[in-house]
Structure 1
Amino acid sequence: MPQLTDEAVPDQDGTGPDDQRRAGTWMTPEAYGASRAALWTGAVVLVTDTDGRVLVQSVDYRSDRLLPGGAVDAGEAPSAAAAREMREELGVDGRYPRGLAVDWIPADTPGFPAGMRFPGEILHVYDGGTWNQERIDSVRLPAQEITGIHFAEPADLPALMDAGDARRALSALRSRINGSGTALLEDGRPTVPTALDRLGVLRTRRTAQHGAWHAGPVPAQLPVRDRSAWLFAPDGRVLLLIARATGAAHLPPPTAAPTAGAAPLGYRYGDQGVHARTAARLTGLPSAPDAEYARLLATPEQVRELSDWGRSGDDELAAVHTARTRLSLPPPPRTPPTELPEAGTRW
C-alpha cells in the first residue's frame, strides 16, 4: 500500500519540499481513494432438501432461476444481508454464519445493461443447510418479486440458471461436501480446484435409488440387479469411483480391490431386481485397470451426499457405520475427497 500524506515531503538534504516525489510511493488520500476498484457486494444462500436438491427461486424480472439473496446494503455485513434477504424473499428467519464460497464477478460479465454501469461484484455464498419438509412448508413468499421456489437436481442448474450463477452454485455445493472451508472463486470457478471440481462431480443427474433399505443378505428368491460395496481404507474412508466423462459417482463392485472381513450389508429394491451392498476392509488397491474412472477416498457422509437414495439413504448410512465399527476402523473426519494414484497402493 502506498504511504499517504497531505504534507510536503522533505527533499534529500532535509531543507525543504521535494517536488520530485518518488513515483508510486507517495499519494494523497484523494488520489489513493480514486485509484481503488469499486465493486458491488452481494450475498446469496445455498439451501438443499433431504434429497440433495438445491433451492432456486423464480422472480418476476427475469426468466432464469436464482439462489435466494441479493445486494448488501451500505454499511451492512454480508451475513446480515443474507439473513435479511431470506426473511424478505422467503419469510424465513435464520442466521447463516458459515460461508461456502466468495466469488469475484468481472465487470465485463454478459447480461448487465450498459446503463447499469456494472463495476463487478464480490458475492458471498452462505450455507443455508438442509431443510426438511416442515421448514419448506414454512416458506411465505412476498406479494411481489418472488413468484415461486422449487428444489432442483444439481445437474439441472446450468439449464435453469445463468451460466455464471450455475457455476457458482455447483462450486459452493462441492465446497459444502468437501467440508474444507470457504472456497475462493473467480467467475464461479475455484482458484484452487479440489478433486470434486476437477472431475466435474454433480454435472450429470444422479441415479435415483429410492427403494427401502433392508439390512442383511439378499434373500435367495430375489434377483440381484447389481452388487456394490463399501470398501474401507484404514482411516475409515471408503473407495468411491467417479466417471471421468460424466462426473457420476459410484460405489465400486466388491471385486474392485483385495479385501478382508467382507460381509453382506443390506439391499434395496430396484426396477429390475435389488441393489445389493457388502462391506469390507481394503487391504490394498491394484493399479487402476480402467482409465475411465477416477478412484477417490471419501467419508461415508460424502458418498451419501453425492447420491440420490431418498430417505432410506440415512438407514444405509447407519448400517455403514455399524460395519465400520465391526471392522475396528475409526470414524473419519470430513476432509476433501482424495484422488488415488493410478499406480495403486498397499496398506
Structure 2
Amino acid sequence: MTTTSVPGELPGSAMTDEAYGALRASAALWVGTSVLITNQFGQVLVQHVDYLNTCLLPGGAVDKGESPARAAARELGEELGITAAPNQGLAVDWVAASSTSAPAAMRFPGELLHVFDGGVWDDDRIGEIRLPPSEITAVEFVEPARLPELLSPPDARRALSALRARINSAGTALLENGQPIAPSALDRLGVLQTARPTYRYPWHQGPAPDGLAVAQVWAWLFAPDGRVLVLLDPETGVAVLPGGKPEAQDQDNPVSTLLREAEEEAAARLERPLFLGHVTDPSARRGYYRYAAALTSIGPARPDPATDTTYARVLATPEQAVQLFDWGPTAANQLAAVHQARKHLGIPHAVPQPVTELTGSTTW
C-alpha cells in the first residue's frame, strides 16, 4: 500500500506506509492545553506553582489519546478541584522549537497549545476552588496588563491574544509563538497592555442630586447598527468613552460639554442626547455623567486640543466595550440602562462581531 498525500512531495510520487509514518513521526509536536478564566472585574486567573518562578494559566500537557478539550477539563479538576467542560476555543498557538529556552536534553520538538474559554467566574464559583496538596501553591486574579510581569513572555503573549480574541467575538485566533497571524484591531492597538483605570463606583439611574460636582461627562454614542464608539489611546491601548471635563465655555451645561468633547476628541457629531444616569465617587462627592446618543458623522481624526492625543476610534458592541473598562459588577446595571436608551432611540441590538477601527470619515 502506498501513500501520496505527503506535503512537498512531487505529483505522482509515492511512499510506503512505513516511510510515510516515519516522516510524520519526525515532524511530531507536543500538544498542550490551557484555560482562560476571568472574574467579574475582567481580571485573569493565574496559578502560582512550586516548580517555576513564573505563573501559569490552568492547564497542562494533553495525554496520549486524549483530546485537548478533555485535557482542559481534566486539568481544571486536578489543579482547581473544579468540574467543568470548556468547549469554546479562544486560540491555537503554534510554538516553534526554536522559540523557547528548553534545554537540549528535553529535545523539544515544538508544540500546539490550545487555549479554551473558562468563562467569567462569580464569587461562589471562585469559592469552590480547591488546590491540590502540591504543584499549585496559590491562585489569584490579576489585571491583564500584569500578565507579562507574572507569566513567561510566550505565555503572556498567548494569554493576552486569547483574551482579546474572546472580546473580539471573531472565533478562535490562530497564533504563532503567541502572536496572531491575523491581528485584530484590539491586537494592533495594544488593548489591555496597560492597566485599565479603575472606576468601580455605584451606578445611579435618573437625575443627579443637587450639589454633586460634575467631574466628567461621557456618552454611549451609537452607530446605526447598534455598536458604540470607543476611543483608544494609541500609546497605551487604554479605552475611554467619548466625553470629558466641563469647561467654563460650557456654562454648566453637561450637553454642551458632551458635544464639544465628542467633536474635539473624536470628530464625532451626534443628535438626541439622552441622560442615562451617573456614577459617583462617594469619597469626593464627584459625579461622572452618562448620556446616550445617535451618531450622525465621524470626521477625519485629529489631535485632541486638551491632550494632543489623536485617539484611535473603534466601533464595538456595548458588551465588548464594557470589557475594556474596570467598572466592577455595577457595570451590568449601566449596561442595562444603555440598552433601554438604545431602544428609545430606535437603534437595533448589535450582533456579535469583531471590533472595527474607523480610519476615515463616515456619515450616517
TM-score by structure 1 length?
0.92
Paired residue for 1:276, among 272, 289, 298?
A: 289
- How far is 1:70 from its partner? 0.3
What corresponds to 1:17 in structure 2?
none
Paired residue for 1:35, among 9, 16, 23?
A: 23
- How far is 1:292 from its partner? 2.5
CA distance in 1, matches of 2:11, 2:189: 47
1:207/1:307 contact within 8 Å kept = yes
CA RMSD, 1 decimal: 1.8
DSSP 3-state at the match of 1:241 = strand
1:43/1:82 contact within 8 Å kept = yes
Paired residue for 1:197, among 184, 187, 192?
A: 187
DSSP 3-state at the match of 2:218 = strand
DSSP 3-state at the match of 1:119 = coil
Q: Specify the code of the residue in structure 2 equivalent to 1:267.
A: H
Matches within 5 A, 1:1-347: 3=4, 25-36=13-24, 37-253=27-243, 254-255=258-259, 256=262, 257-270=268-281, 272=284, 273-290=286-303, 292-341=310-359, 343-347=360-364
1:226/1:274 contact within 8 Å kept = yes
CA distance in 1, matches of 2:344, 2:355: 23
CA distance in 2, matches of 1:43, 1:160: 19
Structure 2 segments unaligned to the other structure (5+ residues):
244-257, 263-267, 304-308
Classify 1:337/1:224 alpha carbon distance in 2 versus 1 (closer, same or farther; 3 Å).
Answer: same
% identical equivalent positions: 53
Q: Specify the code of the residue in structure 2 equivalent to 1:337.
A: V
1:42/1:71 contact within 8 Å kept = yes
Q: List 4+ stretches of structure 1 deviating above 6 A.
A: 21-24
CA distance in 1, matches of 2:10, 2:122: 62
- How far is 1:108 from its partner? 1.3
2:232/2:240 contact within 8 Å kept = yes
Structure 1 segments unaligned to the other structure (5+ residues):
6-20
How many residues align? The count is 331
What corresponds to 2:250 in structure 1?
none
CA distance in 2, matches of 1:161, 1:141: 19
1:42/1:121 contact within 8 Å kept = yes
1:100/1:127 contact within 8 Å kept = yes
Q: Specify the code of the residue in structure 2 equivalent to 1:286.
A: G
- How far is 1:23 from its partner? 8.9
